[in-house]
């Protein structure tokens, strides 16, 4: 079935380190892909998106490229900040975006 798999956390990094959170997917058809972020006590916020192969989504220094050949959508940031500490969710959408599948989430801790 359709699903998203992302790397287990928590991921602990020092400030200004390079971040990669891996995400792979299984889907019928041609999904759109997303990264959401959840800060403590809040709902999810859309971080970035890509709707077709080779698209690169970017926002707030975060980037992810839709790789159809490897069915991946890895999240990267060149230099993380303490304020980036949160849980990150990879997701895919099918059927005109009315059905979303989320990964299990990866908690990121950034230490000063």
Partner 1 sequence: KAGVTQTPRYLIKTRGQQVTLSCSPISGHRSVSWYQQTPGQGLQFLFEYFSETQRNKGNFPGRFSGRQFSNSRSEMNVSTLELGDSALYLCASSSGLGDYEQYFGPGTRLTVT
**Per CB under 8 A, does 46 bind partner 1?**
yes
105 binds partner 1 (CB under 8 A): yes
With CB under 8 A as the contact rule, which of the stretches 53-61, 65-73, 75-83, 94-102 interacts with partner 1?
A: 94-102
CB-CB contact of 97 with 13 (8 Å): no
Q: How far apart are the first and last CA of the chain?
A: 41
Give the count of alpha carbons within 13 A of 38, CB side only: 16
State yes or no: residue 97 binds partner 1 (CB under 8 A): yes
**Which residue of 29, 70, 98, 112 would you call a contact of partner 1, by CB under 8 A?**
98
Summarize as ranges the residues that interact with partner 1 (CB under 8 A): 32, 34, 36, 41-46, 49, 51, 89, 93, 95-105
């Amino acid at each position: 079935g359709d699903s998203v798999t992302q790397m287990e956390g928590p991921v602990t990094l020092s400030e200004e380190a390079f971040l990669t959170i891996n995400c792979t997917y299984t889907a019928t058809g041609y999904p759109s892909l997303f990264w959401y972020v959840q800060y403590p006590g809040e709902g999810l916020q859309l971080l970035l998106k890509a709707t077709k192969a080779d698209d690169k989504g970017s926002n707030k220094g975060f980037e992810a490229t839709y790789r159809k050949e490897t069915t991946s959508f890895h999240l990267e940031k060149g230099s993380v900040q303490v304020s980036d500490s949160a849980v990150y969710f990879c997701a895919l959408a099918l059927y005109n975006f009315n059905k979303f599948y989320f990964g299990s989430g990866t908690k990121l801790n950034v230490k000063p």
